[in-house]
Structure 1
């Protein structure tokens, strides 16, 4: 697991850091001419530097910031738990490797992204983009006083791997994941479940099917799992005993 990429996926999607995202973007535009002229350069620089910049702005011993914000800025522990199943938003997800008898690995996510206005217009616009994929790993990042669950996904490539025909959305997962190497994660709380129905026995295309939630009763709310207050004498970089926080419905491993 790339800890830096996973951590960035967390902090950039937590509502508590939204004001700092705007502040960092403004800082980059004020100090870098390329960021002012090119939105793609701006967001690339933001993704590369935001985590380290936020840590400088919010020291862990600050008395002016909330606990969640301070620990997000500080960063997660170097070990995380990996699972094959997880319940969030009232839905049960499994990773694709154990998803043989059902299709609980299908995931749908809507993100705000910078993209081209159209095939003929190369100007950049901010728009809502739909992504379809499968969950391939479920990870709990440990931020010392709470956990944050992440889904690492195999995504259908926009353009070549997704299309609409006769009112149905079809996706093809058999494409390179190079474009997602630096951004394969979403928060578990952002995931919406979908199912895939193969177009025919010879085709690589699948029809996307959306179904109502079964509303399982183990929601994590906004995606943060509370593990209680951290004792004052606990070293932040020493592994804690997490046995009382372990799930019992699936096996976890350290990664």
Structure 2
């Protein structure tokens, strides 16, 4: 945790030339001269001030403003991090007051996005590779077979940074990055050992102090009182505990029992498909036509089918299936926010007036893919959909409720994946207008950040899951959106990295960047 924070401070401090954090200066340039490397970056002394030629790591004034504006415009989900906007000083083009967790979120996801349009490509990709490494090393699930490759890649990444950054940048904290993979191999995943939960709990304990002359006594008395009250609430119904909040997974706002009954409907889906093929023998081989016909007629057919079975003795129709076939109440309540599986979702109109973004969703569906409108032989495969929640409905089936979201889904023409694995979407290209609804339990939360390199496009980032308890089976991978998470696609191959980014052009002085003057 502290290695990540110090490395983040060094990178941002050097790029934005923040006093006290900047690893560049006269002493750093003289080190280059004494070592006999990059001698063209040596300081040039004048009468009143000294000129430092701009190096590969230096940003122009316009690029500094662009990086700060990118951070200033980021809206992240609630609980993801602090408000990034409060950390940016547009007047000075700096980031101020970064805490440990702020540096964690920057190195994990936000910094590679903010620097996409600045620096030369080799320098930018070297920094991005380091961010990819921290994201992989802090993942909730770690593939042990890939640790050796990850360790080799981080060594190459640091060597690439040595090509472009001054020697003063490489202090002991940057060196310790090499040993993080070995630490994971010996001790297990990082999140079991970092200090964020303990530092967060220390804030809770500090809140117990009412008499500053006796802080230990205040903490002990308050802790014992909350333990006693919390024990009593376990024997009372509909009473929540006090003190440290429990996992939000225990506080789902609406019952979701109806969402688990889809297996009861599967046999009827197969029967209905057989019924359609029998009724329309000319279209038996047209898969897309059969699917469209099934979607438009299944609900009415299911209602009559269940009613006919209920009239028979020993029909075997369950209570849930009977209510599902009858349909929901036509009076549908709408919500602006919804809490499900410990994650809070908002509609787009709610996000527009808030500093957080909770309206982005991602759906991985096994659906039909067609090459064109005339394609009669579609392919069934997994496909990812990205959207924004516009409305939240709560369908009332008398015995249970099922929450559904009406979303604006991004059309396939507005979806691009670049060479680093970043997923870019054009939020103005809306498609799939005939199928906008999705079950709330099926989507994962994502958020969109404006791409500084391509105006009008947004980069898809995922909300990391903070709940590590009671996660078994496929849910472990389900909490991480592999298809829309750019950093899980892996960094570029080390062997082809130089071919991908090229070289600096044989000179160390960066063109198009203002000189640095020191009084």
Q: TM-score category by the smaller chain?
A: 0.7 to 0.9
From 418, 435, 444, the equivalent of 1:192 is 444
Shift of 1:78: 1.1
Counterpart in the other structure of 2:303: 55
Once structures 1 and 2 are overlaid, which stretch shifts more, 197-206 or 15-24? 197-206
Which residue in 2 is equivalent to 1:89?
341
Q: How far, CA to CA, are the matches of 1:125 and 1:61 in structure 2? A: 35
**Alignment CA distance shift 1:35-1:213 (3 Å):** farther
Residue pair 1:39, 1:114 contacting (<8 A) in 2 also: no
Conservation of the 8 A alpha-carbon contact between 1:81 and 1:139? yes
Paired positions, count: 203
Pair 60,105 (structure 1): closer, same or farther in 2 beyond 3 Å = farther
Cα offset for 1:133? 0.6
Alignment of 1:1-255 (within 5 A): 14-59=262-307, 62=310, 64-99=316-351, 100-116=354-370, 123-158=377-412, 160-166=413-419, 167-177=421-431, 179-180=432-433, 182-200=434-452, 203-215=455-467
Deviation of the 1:58 alpha carbon = 0.6
Q: Is the 8 A contact 2:414 2:427 kept in 1?
A: yes
Mapped to 2, the partners of 1:61 and 1:127 lie a distance apart of 34
1:60–1:71 Cα contact (<8 Å) kept: no
For the aligned residues, what is the CA RMSD?
2.7
Work out whether residues 424 and 459 of structure 2, in 8 Å CA contact, stay in contact via their aligned partners in 1: yes
In structure 1, runs of 5+ residues without a counterpart are 1-9, 218-255
* Structure 1 contact 91–214 (Cα < 8 Å) conserved: no
TM-score by length of 1: 0.72
Shift, 1:64, TM fit: 2.1
Question: 2-side partners of 1:76 and 1:29: how far apart?
Answer: 29
Counterpart secondary structure, 1:37: coil
Query: Aligned equivalents of 2:429 and 2:329: distance in 1?
Result: 33
Distance 1:143 1:190 in 2: 19
Question: SS at the partner of 2:272?
Answer: helix
> CA distance change for structure 1 residues 44 and 122 in 2, over 3 Å: closer, same or farther?
closer
Q: Higher relative contact order by CA 8 Å / sep ≥ 6: 1 or 2?
A: 1
Cα deviation for residue 214 of structure 1 reads 4.0
